[in-house]
Amino acid sequence: MSERIPVKDVSPKPRAAKKRAPVDRYNPQEQIYVREQKGVFQRLRKYMGWFFIAAFVIVPFIPYGDRQAILLDMGARQYHFFSLTLWPQDLLLLAWFFIIAAFALFFITTFLGRVWCGYLCPQTVWTFIFIWFEEKIEGSANKRKKLDKSPWSFNKIWRKTAKHTAWIAVSVFTALSFAAYFVPVKQLWWDFFTLNASGAVNFSVIFFTVATYANAGWMRTIVCTHMCPYARFQSAMFDKDTFIVGYDVERGESRGPRKRNADHKALGLGDCVDCDLCVQVCPAGIDIREGLQYECINCGACIDACDQTMERMNYPKGLIRYTTEHNLAGQKTDVLRPKLIGYGVVLSAMLVAFVFTLLNVKPMQLDVLRDRSSLYNETSEGLVENTYTLKVINKSSEAREFHLSVRGLEEVEWIGQQIVTVKGGEVFSLPISLASDPYLLPRSITDIEFVLESGDDQFIQASRFISGG
């Protein structure tokens, strides 16, 4: 009589996903060590970042006439943009600009998620610059972690000193580049480094140096996740058709390691090899495989890391990709949906209004101030006289000749200059008086208009002529 030998199933079982302890971003002992990653999206992010950084630094050095092309002169309350000079009276343009920026952010976020954060936000760009210095001075992510845990030595001291010196140098350069938009750039650099800058300039440069050093060097994702309001209200603009960085659960699970030539389908495994590279390269330290998280800035680092792993394993790319929740669920993505169209229509209307307002900005302006000491005077000839101070503003960059006149009075005597020449970007104060026969004034208060003319340009400012009845 033979005995049956029991058969035991020894085929490998899918390994459960590793549970990782959450990173306490406020604890410096648990800081995120971002691993360097190369790939399509990282090259795109890097090129875009360098382009806008170069523009940020170079623009103040562009000359225009006897000044720099873009100069926001807060002291003189003049804001120069090449040939256009804006004054506080033109702040409607600034309001339009911020409204357009807000709706552009809403439109882009609804369509492509947080791509602004991942590719163009100064916090992200400068954080990656600081991380680049970390990699060059202290080494890769593992080396940096090992260095931080090691006791203090000459090697650790000089590397830490070099890194923070580089960070401070970048921060000072950034602060000076920002201040150059408000102070003439040549004067700024010379005065700052010769210790002749004003207290306001020194305070501004030091403040923005400290802010850049702290934000990009120490706080990093704390700014994005806990200080920036955009991370909090973005969910109001997201929907299931918004393009996000997403992990294909159906294709990736169950995850687990395997040999390159193994038939992972026969082993009951998905395409995810659980290498954790997507977590190691993430500047926010999140695991995108856990689903959509508000900390994700859509930088695409995890996509590049996963695509390289898929390529090595001879699997199709796109396990982690820019996609939508509907697409991940096997449904069709509706790109042209009412929400996105609505944002686009409003944004287009705002752009039209901005361009219309910009094209109708007059190169001159006239402010009229009545004499506050008396409503009117009577001359020795029996005429009623009103006194005004006219402020002629030349918004252009060149000197112009202006002609002044008044409408609304049948017969009026103009006492003062009617033709004045004003230098570019200056305000000319002109005291004048208007005198009229009281019998020609049927009302005690007559609406009048001061007319300022220069060539084909004309500016009209309303005022009043008071006769006392």
Q: Residues of the chain with pLDDT > 90: what percent?
A: 61
How many CB atoms are closer than 10 A to CB 2?
A: 4
The pLDDT, as a whole number, for residue 4 is: 55
Place of tokens 């659960």: 249
Last residue of a domain, one of 336, 361, 386: 361
Residue 177: is the preceding peptide bond cis (ω within 30°)? no
User: In this structure, what are the phi and psi dihedrals at residue 329, rounded to the nearest 5 degrees?
Assistant: -90, 5
Cα separation, 306 vs 295, whole angstroms: 19
Over residues 420-443, the mean pLDDT reads 90
Last residue of a domain, one of 361, 384, 406: 361
| Same domain, residue pair 312 and 382 | no
Assign 228 a pLDDT band (cuts: 50, 70, 90). confident
pLDDT, tens only, 30-51:
688 999 999 999 999 999 999 9
- Say if 17 falls within a structural domain: no
pLDDT reported for residue 24: 56
Q: Identify the weakest region by mean pLDDT among 83-92, 336-345, 427-436.
A: 83-92
Strand partners, 156: none
Is the domain of 351 the same as that of 393? no
Instruction: Provide φ and ψ at 28, rounded to 5°.
Output: -60, -20
- The residues, ordered by sequence, that sit 6+ positions from 23 with a Cβ below 8 Å of its Cβ are 30, 32, 285
Q: What is the mean pLDDT of residues 128-134?
A: 94
pLDDT at 222: 86
Specify whether 271 is located in the same domain as 420. Answer: no
301 shares a domain with 377: no
- Whose structure tokens read 């001075």? 137
Domain presence at residue 321: yes
pTM: 0.80
Question: For the stretch 258-269, what's the b/e string if a residue is b when 16 or more beta carbons lie within 10 angstroms of its beta carbon?
Answer: beeeeebeeeeb
19 within some domain = no
Total domains in the chain come to: 2
CA 378 centroid distance within chain? 58
Residue 7 has pLDDT above 70, yes or no: no
Reduce the secondary structure of 252-295 to three states and give it as a string.
HCCCCCCCCCCCCCCCCCCCCCCCCHHHHCCCCCCCHHHCCCCC
Report CA Rg, the chain: 33
Q: Does residue 144 have a pLDDT over 80?
A: yes
Percent of the chain with pLDDT over 70: 93
- One domain for residues 297 and 182: yes
According to the model, what pLDDT value does residue 230 have?
Answer: 80
Per-residue pLDDT at 18 exceeds 80: no
User: What's the pLDDT band for 17 if we cut at 50, 70, 90?
Assistant: very low
pLDDT surpasses 70 at 333? yes
The chain-wide mean pLDDT, for the chain, equals 88
Per the domain annotation, does 1 fall within a domain?
no
Q: Quick check: is 94 in a domain?
A: yes
Query: Within this chain, do residues 51 and 166 fall inside the same structural domain, yes or no?
Result: yes
Other CB atoms within 10 Å distance of the CB of residue 38: 13
Top-ranked range on mean pLDDT: pick from 16-30, 109-123, 168-182, 234-248: 168-182
Domain of 61, in residue numbers: 24-361
Amino acid at 233: F
Residue 100 has pLDDT above 60, yes or no: yes
What confidence tens digit (pLDDT) does each residue in 206-226 have?
A: 999 999 999 999 998 888 888
* φ, ψ at 293 (rounded to 5°): -135, 145
Query: 457: domain CATH number?
Result: 2.60.40.10
Can you read off the two tokens belonging to residue 429?
């104060």
Q: Which residue has the tokens 């609505």?
A: 342
Per-residue pLDDT, 273: 94
Task: Say if 18 falls within a structural domain.
Answer: no
Angle at 437 between CA 432 and CA 441, to 5 degrees: 100
Last residue of a domain, one of 361, 379, 398: 361
The rounded Cα 407 to chain-centroid distance in angstroms is: 46
Are both 197 and 335 inside the same structural domain? yes
Q: Answer whether residue 379 is part of any domain.
A: yes
The reply to whether 85 falls in a domain is yes
Contact of 269 with 254, CB cutoff 8 Å: yes
The answer on 343 and 375 residing in a single domain is no
Same domain, 251 and 188: yes
- pLDDT score for 91: 78
Q: What is the pLDDT of residue 28?
A: 46
- Class of residue 242 by CB neighbours under 10 A (exposed 0-12, middle 13-18, buried 19+): buried
Mean pLDDT of 196-214: 94
Q: Indicate if 375 and 330 belong to the same structural domain.
A: no
Domain co-membership, 312 together with 374: no
Q: What pLDDT score was predicted for residue 410?
A: 84
Whether residues 324 and 401 share a domain: the answer is no
Please tell me the predicted confidence (pLDDT) of residue 387.
95
| pLDDT on residue 16 | 47
Q: Given this model, what pLDDT does residue 95 score?
A: 86
